[in-house]
């Protein structure tokens, strides 16, 4: 495997007696979209600040694109596009003027700046609004302009802190879709910090759950779900056209099917728990017994189930 683009080793930050970040070890690969998830005060922002070289760790290291963020903060800042949770633009200036200003601050040459500005505005779908004053922009448009603002310096890594705050549901969907497209098309690595579980679930390849400075767990949705819900790894719900009469005559025969652990009958609805995914065998059983199957649904554990469960576990530590 390639070297990770972000590599955190034993990263720790203490503020007096408060351990804001506690021995964090994490690798993020190029092109990944990683979600940093946790309640208020979990240590997300402190971790980001250490990755940006804006605050020094008490111990441990943060490397970004091979540079140590503490000892080489300038190259690290060149590589990272950081979008904070509250964005500020010069309201009296147009989007283009704002971008030119940011481009100048980032040392982009005059000859290149306008082309890059138009290009990033096209990438975020604001090409027709480039000459409008940012005071006329909606919250969702400002968020996309914020993205253009960090893309203009052509970073390798995007760090987005609560990027969906205050945007309406359709704006959120659009924005997350844009992040995913950009990451896939340009090989951009994205670190997204958020409280919004289902936003993280929609867009991230992998998620880390943070509580009280500690990374409790990280992995993709499937791994997290399997580790937690091992006992009930697969739950399938079958809907029949007609209700089953109880006691169900085939219950003991059904329980003999390989992997079936439990079955609960409620009228037309049959809930089955199995040790592995045997949905086809379950459906075949009902069909062969002459029942009309009108629906089958496999329960996927959503990130909020997973998060809640880990969060409960952490409270009991
Ligand atoms: N400059 C500071 N001085 C003292 N304590 C701090 C400082 N910054 C953060 N902390 C403490 O460190 C802990 C982690 O804070 P941090 O802001 O990193 O959490 P967070 O996960 O980003 O929270 P939020 O989602 O609310 O932004 C908290 O207990 C916070 O009070």
Domain chopping of the chain, boundaries: 6-226, 231-299
pLDDT computed for residue 230 by the predictor: 57
> Is the pLDDT confidence value at 317 over 60?
no
| SS3 readout for 178-217 | HHHHHHHHHCCEEEEEECCHHHHHHHCCEEEEEECCEEEE
The percentage of residues in the chain with a pLDDT greater than 70, rounded to a whole number, is: 91
Cα(15) to centroid(ligand 1), Å: 9
Note whether 6-226 and 231-299 share their fold: no
> Is the pLDDT confidence value at 95 over 80?
yes
The residues lining ligand 1, judged by C-beta closer than 6 Å to any ligand atom, are: 15, 18, 20, 38, 40-46
> Is the pLDDT confidence value at 9 over 70?
yes
Cα(21) to centroid(ligand 1), Å: 9
pLDDT computed for residue 39 by the predictor: 81
Fold of 231-299: Alpha-Beta Plaits (3.30.70)
Mean pLDDT of 160-164: 88
pLDDT computed for residue 117 by the predictor: 93
Cα(13) to centroid(ligand 1), Å: 10
> Is the pLDDT confidence value at 164 over 90?
no
Cα(14) to centroid(ligand 1), Å: 10
- Higher pLDDT pick, 286 / 233: 286
Question: Which has the closest alpha carbon to 163: 124, 130, 126, 127?
Answer: 124
End-to-end CA distance of the chain: give it in Å, rounded: 34
Pocket test for ligand 1, best of 44, 163, 164, 307 (most atoms within 8 A of CB): 44
Lowest average pLDDT, out of 98-102, 178-182, 226-230, goes to: 226-230
> Is the pLDDT confidence value at 297 over 70?
yes
Cα(221) to centroid(ligand 1), Å: 27
Cα(191) to centroid(ligand 1), Å: 18
> Is the pLDDT confidence value at 231 over 60?
no
Index of the ligand 1 atom closest to the CA of residue 210: 21
Mean pLDDT of 129-146: 90
> Is the pLDDT confidence value at 56 over 90?
yes
pLDDT computed for residue 190 by the predictor: 95
Ligand 1 atom 18, closest CA? 43
Q: What's the predicted TM-score (pTM) here?
A: 0.76
C-alpha–C-alpha distance, residues 146 and 136, integer Å:
15
pLDDT in tens, 18-51: 999 999 999 999 999 999 988 888 899 999 999 9
CATH of 6-226, one of 3.40.50.300, 3.90.1150.10, 3.10.450.50, 3.10.50.40: 3.40.50.300
- 192 confidence band (pLDDT: 50, 70, 90): very high
- 201 confidence band (pLDDT: 50, 70, 90): confident
Residue 36 φ/ψ, nearest 5 degrees: -100, 110
On whether ipTM exceeds 0.85, the answer is yes
Index of the ligand 1 atom closest to the CA of residue 48: 18
- What SS3 class is residue 65? coil
Index of the ligand 1 atom closest to the CA of residue 49: 18
Index of the ligand 1 atom closest to the CA of residue 195: 25
- 302 confidence band (pLDDT: 50, 70, 90): low
C-alpha–C-alpha distance, residues 105 and 97, integer Å:
12
Mean pLDDT of 220-248: 77
Mean pLDDT of 56-68: 96
C-alpha–C-alpha distance, residues 2 and 177, integer Å:
26
pLDDT computed for residue 68 by the predictor: 96
Cα(45) to centroid(ligand 1), Å: 7
Pocket test for ligand 1, best of 35, 42, 57 (most atoms within 8 A of CB): 42
Ligand 1 atom 1, closest CA? 15
Mean pLDDT of 166-192: 87
- Higher pLDDT pick, 166 / 26: 26
Residue 4 φ/ψ, nearest 5 degrees: -65, 150
Pocket test for ligand 1, best of 43, 56, 311 (most atoms within 8 A of CB): 43
- Higher pLDDT pick, 309 / 56: 56
Q: What is the mean pLDDT of the chain?
A: 87
Ligand 1 atom 11, closest CA? 20
pLDDT computed for residue 24 by the predictor: 95
- What SS3 class is residue 282? helix
Mean pLDDT of 263-282: 89
Ligand 1 atom 16, closest CA? 43
C-alpha–C-alpha distance, residues 50 and 39, integer Å:
19
Cα(130) to centroid(ligand 1), Å: 36
Cα(101) to centroid(ligand 1), Å: 31
């Amino acid at each position: 495997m390639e070297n990770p683009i972000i590599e955190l080793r034993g990263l720790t930050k203490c503020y007096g007696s408060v351990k804001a970040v506690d021995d964090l070890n994490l690798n993020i690969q190029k092109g990944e979209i990683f979600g940093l998830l946790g309640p208020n005060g979990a240590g997300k922002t402190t971790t980001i600040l250490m990755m940006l070289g804006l605050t020094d760790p008490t111990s441990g290291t943060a490397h970004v694109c091979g540079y140590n963020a503490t000892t080489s903060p300038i190259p690290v800042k060149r590589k990272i596009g950081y979008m904070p949770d509250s964005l500020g633009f010069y309201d009296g200036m147009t989007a283009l003027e704002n971008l030119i200003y940011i481009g100048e601050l980032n040392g982009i040459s005059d000859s290149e700046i306008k082309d890059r500005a138009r290009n990033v505005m096209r990438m975020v779908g604001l090409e027709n609004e480039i000459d409008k004053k940012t005071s006329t922009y909606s919250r969702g448009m400002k968020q996309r302009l914020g993205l253009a603002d960090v893309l203009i310096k052509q970073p390798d890594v995007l760090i987005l802190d609560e990027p969906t705050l205050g945007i309406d549901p359709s704006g959120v969907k659009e924005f997350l879709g844009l992040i995913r497209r950009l990451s896939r098309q340009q090989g951009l690595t994205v670190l997204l910090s958020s409280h919004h579980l289902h936003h993280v679930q929609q867009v991230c390849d992998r998620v880390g759950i943070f509580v009280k400075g500690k990374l409790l767990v990280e992995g993709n949705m499937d791994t997290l779900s399997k580790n937690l819900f091992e006992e009930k790894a697969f739950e399938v719900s079958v809907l029949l056209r007609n209700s089953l009469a109880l006691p169900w005559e085939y219950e003991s025969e059904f329980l003999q099917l390989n992997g079936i652990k439990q079955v609960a009958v409620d009228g037309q609805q049959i809930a089955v728990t199995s040790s592995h995914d045997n949905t086809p065998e379950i459906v075949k059983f009902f069909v062969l017994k002459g029942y009309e199957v009108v629906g089958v649904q496999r329960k996927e554990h959503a990130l909020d189930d997973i998060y809640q469960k880990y969060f409960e576990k952490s409270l009991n530590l």
